[in-house]
Amino acid sequence: MGDSDIVKYLKEFDNEIKNMKMEVFKTMWYMRGGISHQEALNLSPEDRKVIYALVKENMETTKKTGQPFF
């Protein structure tokens, strides 16, 4: 592996870490304190996907009904 490949790999890895952190903090925000930072970090990628699907579904329902999003 050459230097440019290593740099590319590290940049991709850094982006993955940033994306995971964003998912963790979004999960914490949507859970409104129902999950701690450590608990959110311990969620599996599949768990995060399920939570986001639920959040998305609730947001769509909120838009359709005009009710506030809690």
What 3-state DSSP class applies to 68?
coil
Tell me the whole-structure pTM to 2 decimals.
0.66
Contacts of 37 (CB under 8 A, 6+ apart): 24, 28
pLDDT at 13: 95
- Residue bearing the bigger pLDDT, 63 or 68: 63
Cα–Cα distance, 49 to 34 (Å, whole number): 17
Q: Where are the alpha helices (DSSP H) in 1-70?
A: 3-31, 37-42, 45-65
d(CA 17, CA 32): 23
For 1-53, write each residue's pLDDT tens digit.
888 999 999 999 999 999 989 988 888 888 888 889 899 889 898 998 898 89
**Would you say residue 69 has pLDDT above 80?**
no
* Interatomic CA distance for residues 37 and 45, integer angstroms: 15
